[in-house]
């Protein structure tokens, strides 16, 4: 009887595996040429950090690099449906799921990521900005997530305003 229960538990655990993401997601930094001098774009980056309360891990104005610490993106995360589309098409993060679940809401999990911005002077009045959402974390689970590219687009649009 004891062996049967143990074998059943092992069998049930074996059925619950991580389902990899089906969709195509952003693996490289997004970039944009911004018609502003680098100093003005840098100020906008700092304004975004201050307004949103994003923690900073590394900042170096001279090299134009800023790396955030982990930021919560629970409200901007989504799981895929059975067909590989996102429940929330405007999500910043697409997250893997366990095979026995098809959660429609990501809020019960703590999801976050770090982001990197690199600014490079092209001319006195134009700046190349690169943005990337990386190091996606999903609670303490062994699930992976990927950037959908929406965060990078939002950030680059904000820098260009």
More confidently predicted of 85 and 14: 85
> Within a domain: residue 9?
no
| First and final C-alpha spacing in the chain | 68
Q: Which residue has the higher pLDDT, 16 or 3?
A: 16
Tell me whether residue 148 is in a domain: yes
Token code pair at residue 23: 């969709």
Per the prediction, the chain carries an average pLDDT of 87
Pick 30 or 105 by higher pLDDT.
30
**Which alpha helices (DSSP H) does 2-149 contain, by range?**
2-15, 38-52
Alpha helices in 28-141 (DSSP H): 38-52
Whether 5 is in a domain gets the answer no
> What is d(CA 98, CA 29) in angstroms, rounded to the nearest whole number?
28
Has residue 78 got a pLDDT over 50?
yes
Q: Domain containing 102: what range?
A: 31-160
* Total number of domains in the chain: 1
Q: Look up the CATH number of the domain holding residue 150.
A: 3.30.310.80
Check: pTM over 0.85? Answer yes or no: no
How much is the pLDDT for 6? 44
Domain membership of residue 11 (yes or no) is no
Say whether 63 sits in a helix, a strand or coil. coil
For residues 98 and 67, give the distance between their C-alpha atoms in angstroms, rounded to a whole number.
Answer: 30
Residue 7 lies in a domain: no
Cα dist from 35 to 6, 63, 123, whole Å: 65, 19, 9
- CA–CA gap between residue 128 and residue 125 (Å, rounded): 11
């Amino acid at each position: 009887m004891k062996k049967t229960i143990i074998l059943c538990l092992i069998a049930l655990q074996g059925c619950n595996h991580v389902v990899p993401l089906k969709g195509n997601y952003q693996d490289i930094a997004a970039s944009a040429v911004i018609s502003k001098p680098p100093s003005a774009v840098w100020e906008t980056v700092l304004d975004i950090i201050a307004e949103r309360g994003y923690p900073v891990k590394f900042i170096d104005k001279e090299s134009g690099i800023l790396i955030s610490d982990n930021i919560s993106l629970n409200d901007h995360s989504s799981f895929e449906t059975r067909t590989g589309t996102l429940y929330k098409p405007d999500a910043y993060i697409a997250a893997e799921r366990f095979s026995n679940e098809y959660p429609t809401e990501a809020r019960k999990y703590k999801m976050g990521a770090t982001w990197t911005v690199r600014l490079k002077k092209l001319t006195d009045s134009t700046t190349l900005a690169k943005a990337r959402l990386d190091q996606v974390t999903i609670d303490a689970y062994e699930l992976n997530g990927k950037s959908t590219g929406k965060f990078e687009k939002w950030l680059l649009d904000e820098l260009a305003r």
